[in-house]
């Protein structure tokens, strides 16, 4: 297995000080359990926050680091201020409510964006320090959404995976976030982004389309010339371990004792972090209504609600505690009998054995969050029911509902219906309970946490492998390359224009050449040992206007048009165009049906533009159009290419490699052939060149080029340097 670097906001340990000694013990959370196996099998590290260690002396801190290092855990310490701003303020104060559709819980004076960026950057830096080529990096959750791109900037070739443990909200909700662009771009630094359920994936894709204008396939999209894979990986629990725990003699004894306490009284159970997303208040109101409606249940049912205190530092949580306390008091005041109190409320954490006993002792398990990425409690309950009994009432807004269809599903906002479902659960005959529980258990055991980790990691490995259709370009040694350019004559330069000689501009007109570039091209063109060809996808008119008077050769429309020095434009001879009359009406019909879309006719191709159409409608229509065209091609040698908000139809083989037929090779050949470009269309040219040609890719991304340079400025420096030989009279 490849080395694995795990990154999560919390390290999977808890730290206590016992009589002055630091004691590190493994923590029991779902993520910690799921990733322990992969961490132990790999030789990599796990990076995260060890919790608040501000009380530790520096000696204690030192001994903590040693203890952690022995477990290959790398702490990222945070100041109190960081925790307040980054964790409580932004992660839990803004992202958490927004991603759970609770805009009302975002404080007016939301804080922490700067701290969020700062802490994410520290994570990226620390990962980069521990990274070795070939490692897999797996980053977790909503506190670290900027890390993938920050890390990508430092390690362009790293294989980076990200998993989101909470829902990704509908795009219309997400777009209220002032930092929406940055968050999406941050995530898109990954090779693979994983979600618990398909709706989250599709919300994410739609948000990327609406906000960044990037289109997607069902499970992938292209971003900055890289492919980003999207996947659904429903997280599970360690079902076998929970089942074993539930069978332990002391647990079984405890189950009998819980049941024996209230003979004839059936038990409902709720287990949650005390969080406004978990639906506690509505659950309590439903129990109250059940008791109000059906007097025969009074004294015969009770709800055990266990709530772990959570995020007590975040203001929005204070109200939840108060409301739950009030409702519990209200129900107990109204419906207690001398023997039975209808709600037992424990505001604390309980240990795993005790929890297993509660799961086994209960008749009906209530998991009714208003929104929940997955919800592991539902799966823990099922895993613990080795007796194949018990009924699960599950919110349809928990990610788990997508898998656990045999549960009784409820809409927790529909309280009356929830009451009916609870009543039904209490009455369900044993055969039905068994049948449902058996089916649920199969599912929970098959999709356990180990499988979750394995399937994410194998998808990440596959995404990494797929990323490289070509060999990865070794970083140029700019000096060595520059020296070759300077020495070699005659030198053939095949230069792309947009993104290679000038920065990419937002409108085509804004990419006009500046004075420096014109001087540089003129000087190159005047060097008799240098043959300059500009190879662009643009139409002849703008190329001519900008560069037509320079001592360089021009190729427009990916090589279809050629313009010699002092010459006129000539088209490539044998490219068929009679197909246009047949297909043009189809494109026009689609343009009519799609407000904002239009058809452009180029010399060799037809282009359907939709960048001014509604992004989603445009994208859907573009798919329809492609399907329609594919059907209408009638085996003609044409190809339909989806570009950036365009669909283009053109003859097969019309690409930048056409240029080579216009290059006049000197008698003794070229001393060196150099092609430089920044996008996919340049790859066709790279592919057509002889092996000893130097191919240069501008920017990051997969390429078959042999050399990478950073940007257009680096290209210009390189070209400038190659000229200096002349200046020095070589």
Q: Which residues sit at the interface with ligand ADQ, rule CB under 6 A?
A: 30, 165-166, 235, 271-273, 306, 308, 349-350, 355, 372-377, 380
The smaller minimum CB distance to ligand ADQ, of residues 282 and 650, is found at: 282
Q: Rounded to an integer, what distance in angstroms lies between the CA atom of residue 537 and that of residue 498? A: 9
Cα angle 544, 550, 555 (rounded to 5 degrees) comes to 50
Minimum CB–partner distance for residue 692 and ligand ADQ (Å): 53
| Least distance between ligand ADQ and beta carbon 322 (Å) | 19
Kindly give the pairing relationship between strand 301-308 and strand 266-273: parallel
361 in Cβ contact with 321 (< 8 Å): no
Question: What sign results for the dihedral spanned by CA atoms 179, 183, 450, 32?
Answer: negative
Burial category of 1 from C-beta neighbours within 10 Å (exposed 0-12, middle 13-18, buried 19 and up): exposed
CB-wise, 373 or 464, nearer to ligand ADQ?
373
- CA angle at residue 519 from 516 to 522, to 5 degrees? 150
In terms of CB distance, is 165 or 467 closer to ligand ADQ?
165
Chain centre distance of CA 540: 40
**Catalytic residue from among 82, 141, 448, 496:** 496
Taking a C-beta distance cutoff of 8 angstroms, is the pair 386, 440 a contact?
no
Which structure tokens are listed for 572? 């490539």
| Residue 95 DSSP symbol | I
**β-strand partners of 192:** 161, 229
Give whichever of 30 and 548 is closer to ligand ADQ, judged by the CB atom. Answer: 30
Q: In this structure, what token pair is assigned to residue 443?
A: 């599912």
473-476 long-range Cβ contacts below 8 angstroms, 24+ apart: 473/697, 473/703, 473/704, 473/705, 473/706, 473/707, 473/708, 474/706, 474/707, 474/708, 475/707, 475/708, 476/696, 476/707, 476/708, 476/709
Which is closer to ligand ADQ, CB of 371 or CB of 467? Answer: 371
CB atoms within 10 A of CB 128: 15
The residue among 398 and 494 lying less far from ligand ADQ, judged by its C-beta, is: 398
Contact 230, 201 (CB under 8 A): yes
Chain centroid offset of residue 233 CA: 12
Q: At 461, list the tokens.
A: 């490995």
Question: What DSSP element (H or E) covers 175?
Answer: none
CB of 369 to ligand ADQ, least distance (A): 8
Is 89 or 167 the residue whose CB approaches ligand ADQ more closely? 167
User: Cβ closer to ligand ADQ: 393 or 675?
Assistant: 393
Closest distance of CB 265 from ligand ADQ, Å = 22
What is the phi/psi pair of residue 170, to 5°?
Answer: -50, 145
- Give the torsion sign (CA, 497, 499, 501, 502): positive
Which CB sits closer to ligand ADQ, 306 or 674? 306
Q: Beta-carbon neighbour count of residue 519 at 10 Å?
A: 12
Closest CB to ligand ADQ among residues 369, 499: 369
Give the separation between CA 32 and CA 543, rounded to whole angstroms.
58
User: Tokens 């002092």 map to which residue?
Assistant: 566
Give me the least distance between CB of 316 and ligand ADQ, in Å please: 15
b (16+ CB within 10 A) / e for 637-646? ebbbbbeebb
Find out whether 483 and 721 touch, Cβ atoms under 8 Å.
no
Q: Note the maximum CA span of the chain.
A: 108
Find the shortest distance in angstroms from Cβ 336 to ligand ADQ: 23
Q: Taking CA 513 as the corner, what is the angle to CA 507 and CA 519, rounded to the nearest 5 degrees?
A: 170
- The distance of closest approach from Cβ of residue 113 to ligand ADQ in the complex, given in angstroms and rounded to an integer, is 22
Element (H, E) at 564: none
Q: Report the alpha-carbon distance of residue 225 to residue 223 in Å, rounded.
A: 5
CB of 168 to ligand ADQ, least distance (A): 12
CB of 458 to ligand ADQ, least distance (A): 19
What does the block give as tokens for 645? 């908000």
CB 197 to ligand ADQ: min, Å: 10
Per the annotation, the verdict on 539 as an active-site residue is no
Minimum CB–partner distance for residue 237 and ligand ADQ (Å): 7
Residue 139 backbone dihedrals phi, psi, to 5 degrees: -105, 140
- The smaller minimum CB distance to ligand ADQ, of residues 106 and 350, is found at 350
Nearer of residues 166 and 228 to ligand ADQ, judged by Cβ: 166
Q: Which two tokens stand for residue 342?
A: 């209808």
Q: How far is CA 65 from the centre of its chain?
A: 31
For residue 33, what are the contacts with CB-CB under 8 A and spacing of at least 6? 237, 238, 241, 449
Least distance (Å) between residue 375 CB and ligand ADQ: 5
List the catalytic residues.
496
């Amino acid at each position: 297995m490849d080395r694995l670097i795990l990154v999560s906001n919390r390290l999977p340990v808890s730290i206590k000080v016992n009589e002055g000694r630091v004691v590190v013990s493994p923590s029991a959370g779902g993520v910690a359990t799921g990733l322990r196996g992969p961490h132990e099998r790999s030789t990599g590290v796990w990076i995260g926050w060890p919790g608040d260690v501000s009380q530790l002396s520096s000696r204690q801190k030192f001994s903590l680091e040693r203890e952690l290092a022995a477990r290959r855990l790398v702490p990222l310490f945070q100041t109190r201020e960081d925790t307040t701003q980054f964790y409580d303020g932004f992660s839990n104060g803004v992202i958490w409510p927004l991603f759970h559709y609770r805009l009302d819980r975002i404080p007016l004076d939301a804080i922490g964006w700067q701290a969020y960026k700062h802490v994410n950057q520290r994570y990226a830096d620390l990962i980069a320090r521990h990274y070795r080529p070939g490692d897999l990096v797996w980053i977790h959750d909503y506190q670290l959404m900027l890390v993938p791109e920050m890390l990508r900037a430092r390690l362009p070739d790293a294989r980076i995976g990200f998993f989101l443990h909470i829902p990704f909200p509908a795009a219309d909700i997400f777009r209220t976030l002032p930092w929406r662009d940055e968050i999406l771009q941050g995530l898109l630094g990954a090779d693979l982004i994983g979600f618990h359920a398909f709706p989250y994936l599709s919300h994410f894709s739609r948000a990327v389309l609406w906000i960044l204008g990037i289109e997607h396939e069902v499970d992938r999209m292209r971003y900055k010339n890289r492919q980003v894979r999207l996947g659904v990986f429903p997280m599970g629990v360690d079902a076998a371990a929970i089942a074993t725990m539930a069978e332990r003699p002391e647990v079984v004894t405890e189950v009998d004792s819980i049941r024996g306490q209230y003979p004839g009284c059936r038990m409902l159970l709720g287990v949650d972090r005390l969080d406004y997303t978990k639906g506690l208040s509505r659950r309590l109101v439903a129990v109250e209504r059940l008791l109000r409606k059906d007097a025969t249940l009074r004294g015969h049912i009770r709800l055990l609600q266990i709530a772990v205190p959570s995020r007590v530092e975040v203001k929005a949580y204070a109200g939840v505690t108060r409301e739950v306390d009030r409702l519990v008091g209200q129900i107990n005041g109204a419906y207690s009998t001398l023997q039975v109190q209808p709600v037992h409320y424990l505001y604390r954490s309980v240990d795993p054995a005790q929890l297993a006993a509660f799961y086994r002792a209960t008749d009906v398990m209530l998991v009714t969050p208003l929104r929940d990425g997955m919800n592991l409690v539902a799966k823990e309950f099922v895993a613990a029911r080795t007796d194949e009994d018990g009924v699960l009432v599950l919110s349809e807004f928990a990610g788990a509902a997508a898998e656990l269809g045999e549960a009784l599903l409820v809409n927790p906002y529909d309280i009356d219906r929830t009451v009916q479902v609870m009543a039904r659960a209490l009455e369900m005959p044993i055969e039905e309970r068994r049948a449902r529980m058996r089916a649920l258990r199969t599912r929970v055991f098959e999709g356990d946490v180990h499988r979750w980790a394995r399937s994410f990691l194998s998808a990440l490995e596959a995404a990494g492998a797929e990323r490289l259709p070509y060999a990865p370009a070794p970083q140029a040694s700019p000096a060595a390359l520059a020296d070759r350019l300077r020495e070699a004559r005659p030198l053939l330069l095949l230069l792309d224009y947009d993104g290679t000689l000038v920065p990419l501009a937002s409108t085509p007109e804004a990419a006009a050449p500046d004075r420096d570039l014109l001087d540089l091209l003129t000087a190159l063109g005047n060097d008799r040992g240098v043959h300059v060809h500009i190879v662009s996808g643009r139409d002849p008119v703008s190329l001519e206007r900008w560069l037509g008077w320079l001592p360089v050769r021009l190729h427009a429309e990916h090589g279809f048009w050629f313009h010699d020095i002092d010459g006129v434009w000539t088209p490539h001879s044998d490219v068929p165009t009679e197909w246009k009359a047949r297909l043009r009406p189809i494109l026009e019909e689609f343009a009519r049906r799609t407000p904002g879309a239009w058809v452009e006719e180029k010399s060799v191709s037809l282009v359907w533009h939709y960048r001014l159409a509604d992004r989603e409608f445009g994208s859907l229509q573009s798919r329809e159009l492609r399907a329609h065209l594919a059907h209408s091609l009638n085996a003609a040698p044409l190809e339909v290419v989806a570009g950036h908000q365009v669909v283009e139809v053109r003859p097969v083989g019309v690409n930048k490699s056409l240029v080579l037929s216009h290059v006049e090779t000197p008698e003794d050949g070229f001393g060196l052939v150099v092609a430089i470009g920044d996008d996919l269309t340049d790859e066709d040219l790279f592919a057509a060149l002889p092996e000893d040609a130097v191919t240069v890719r501008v920017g990051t991304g997969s390429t078959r080029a042999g050399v990478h340079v950073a940007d257009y400025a680096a290209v210009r420096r390189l070209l400038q340097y190659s000229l200096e030989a002349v200046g020095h009279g070589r």
